[in-house]
Amino acid sequence: MNQLNASIDLLRELIACPTVSADSNLDMMAILANRLEDAGARVQILSDESGTKANMFATIGPEQEGGLVLSGHSDVVPVTDQPWSSDPFDMVEHDGALYGRGTCDMKGFIACAVTMAERYAQRDLSRPVHFAFTYDEEVGCLGGQALVDALRAQGVRPDMAIVGEPTSMRIIEGHKGCCEYTAHFRGLEGHGSAPDRGVNAAEYATRYVSKLLELREELKTRVPSGSRFDPPWTTINVGRIHGGSAHNVIASLAEVDWEMRPVQWGDADFVKGEMSAFVDQVLRPAMQAVDPNADIWTDVIGEVAGLEPMEENAARDLVAKLTGANGADLVAFGTEAGLFQSLGTHVVVCGPGSIEQAHMADEFITVEQMDACLKMLDRVV
C-alpha cells in the first residue's frame, strides 16, 4: 500500500476516535503508539493527573540531542448543534475531499507523520525524528504545556519542530499568543425593588467588561514597531457574559469569559495588571462595602505565548527547501509552537488543510493536501 492510501486509512481510524477536549484521548493514543512501536520508535506515554488523557513523545533514530519534532494535537472541538451532512466521526470521502471532525485540525497531519515513521526507521538517520502528540490544545494548550515541561525536565531539546496545524502547506513563522480567562462575581441577592440593599453581580460584571473594552482601545496605541500581524496590536475579546436569574431579582452570581491575543508578552502583563488594580481598588471595595462576603476572582484557563518571528530560523529554512516556498507568513490563530520555541527550538507551523475548515460543520481536508504533506515529510530525511 502506498503512503497516501495508508495515511487515509489511518486518518479514518483516528476520526473514529471522538477526542473532543472534554473526553478521553486514550484510544487514539493507543492506535498511534502501536503504529509507532511497530515502526521501531521508542514511545513514551505521559498521562495527565486524571489518567483519562495522555501526551505521547516518540523517537526514531539515534539516541542523541537535537533532531526534528513533528507535532500535533489529538483533541478536537465539539460537534454539538452543528448541521453536519454525515456522522462527523465516520470519515466520508467525496470528490477528492475527506470529511470528518478533526480531518484538517489536525489529525490529517498526524496521520501523515505516523505513516512516514516506518520509512524513517528504514533510513540511516544522522539525527532523531521525534513525534509529539498532545491533549487539550483546544482548551488552552494544557497538554502541550505539560509535554514541554516534561521534555525540559528530561533535558530534551530538539533543534527544530514542525507544528502541523492547517496552513494549506504555507510556512507560518509567527503568531500571536493566546490567554483565556473566566472572571467570577459573587454578590448579594435581593429584591429588584431595592437594588441598593444587594450587590448585583451582573452589574459589576458589566463594569468589568467596560474596563476590558477601554483597555482594548488603549492596546491599539501600543503597537510594536514593525509589527506584521493583522491587526498589528494585541486584541481583547469578550466571549460570554452570564448572570442573574430573573427580571426582578438582584443577580448574586455572574461570569465573564474573555481572551486576549498578545503580540508581545508585555501587553499581557499590562492588561492583567490594569484589571487586577481595577478589581482590587474599585470593584471589590464597592461590593464589600455592602456585603463583606462579596468577591471577584479569576480562573486562568490558559496562557500560551505566541510564536515569535526570528531572523534566523532553521525550521523555516528547512521547510522552505522541502516545499519550494519562497517566503513565510504570520497568522492570528494560536498553536503550540511558542511552547516548543521556549525550549530554544527553531519552530515553524506548516500542515495540510485550511484553517477556514477548522471547527466548522462538514470539516474536510483534500486528498491533494494530504499528498503534499507526505511529499514534504518524505523529503525530511
pLDDT at 233: 94
pLDDT at 348: 97
pLDDT at 1: 60
Candidates 132, 96, 127, 97; CA nearest to 113 is 132
Band (pLDDT 50/70/90 cuts) for residue 202 is very high
Residue type, 182: T
pLDDT at 187: 98
150 CB contacts (<8 Å, ≥6 apart)?
Answer: 46, 55, 57
Cα 321 to Cα 299: distance, rounded to the nearest angstrom: 43
Q: Which fold has domain 3-175+305-379?
A: Aminopeptidase (3.40.630)
Residue type, 80: T
Please tell me which residue in 9, 48, 65, 75 is annotated as part of the active site: 75
23 CB contacts (<8 Å, ≥6 apart)?
Answer: none
* Check whether domain 178-304 has CATH 3.30.70.360, yes or no: yes
pLDDT at 304: 87
Asked about 13 being catalytic, the answer comes back as no
244 CB contacts (<8 Å, ≥6 apart)?
Answer: 201, 202, 251, 254
Cα 319 to Cα 327: distance, rounded to the nearest angstrom: 10
Do the beta carbons of residue 141 and residue 339 sit within 8 Å?
Answer: yes
Candidates 225, 222, 230; CA nearest to 330 is 230
pLDDT tens-digit series, residues 173-201: 999 999 999 999 999 999 999 999 999 99
303 CB contacts (<8 Å, ≥6 apart)?
Answer: 140, 177, 179, 180, 268
Asked about 90 being catalytic, the answer comes back as no
Indicate the domain borders of the chain: 3-175+305-379, 178-304
Please tell me which residue in 105, 136, 137, 336 is annotated as part of the active site: 137
pLDDT tens-digit series, residues 254-302: 999 999 999 988 999 999 999 999 999 999 999 999 999 999 999 998 8
In the chain, % of residues over pLDDT 70: 100
Give the chain's length.
381
Band (pLDDT 50/70/90 cuts) for residue 332 is confident
| pLDDT surpassing 90 at residue 62 | yes
Residue type, 25: N
